[in-house]
Amino acid sequence: MGRRKRSLPVQQEKNEDLEAKHARIEESDGWTGVNEHSFIAVKPDGVHRRLVGEIIQRFEKKGFRLVGMKLVQASEDLLREHYRDLRDKPFFNGLVRNMSSGPIVAMVWQGLDVVKMSRKMLGETNPADSLPGTIRGDYCLEVGRNVIHGSDSVESAQREISLWFRQNELQCWEDSSGHWIYE
């Protein structure tokens, strides 16, 4: 019993340290460096094909840190806002319809150059142009069923993350393998 009482303040202190670190990062005008964040979503076709675990594993093996994840059925309003830059494209309504057709696994990944590196890991939007070894190169055949979305810039990532996640849904945690990944 006494042991628990002593460990509670230590854990509380660690939580307060993480909260303070999280607040400092937020105040630094966005997430940069090893604190950069990207929004990644496994689309309904990827969820139905049971590719979620494989995709998560690729990001983890790369060394990125998962700081937010949820399974959601996105509303058309959310998707129209998410893809607002494509609203004038002829495929826009079909994209929104497809994305609202089933569950989506929405994730936030953190790490150095995570936006740029994630885009390389995903491959080209058109799977026919994607190299083997990329997610789309390995698992996709058609543009309309390319299993995954990834932010294309740090600014897009910040906007997309704020659409899909509340601030309290993102976790700030210490990764003990960080010194094996970063110099």
Inter-CA distances, 48 with 45, 67, 126, 130, Å? 5, 23, 20, 21
Helix (H) or strand (E) segment spanning residue 109: strand 104-110
Q: Which of 19, 14, 24, 36 is nearest to 182 (CA)?
A: 36
Among candidate residues 22, 37, 149, 179, the one labeled active-site is 149
Within 10 angstroms of residue 90's Cβ, the number of other Cβ atoms is 7
94, two tokens: 């079909």
Distances (CA, A) of 69 to 39, 104, 109: 10, 10, 9
Residues tagged in the binding site annotation for ATP = 43, 91, 119, 125, 136, 146
Residue appearing with tokens 């026919």: 128
> Active-site residue 37, yes or no?
no
Annotated catalytic residues are 149
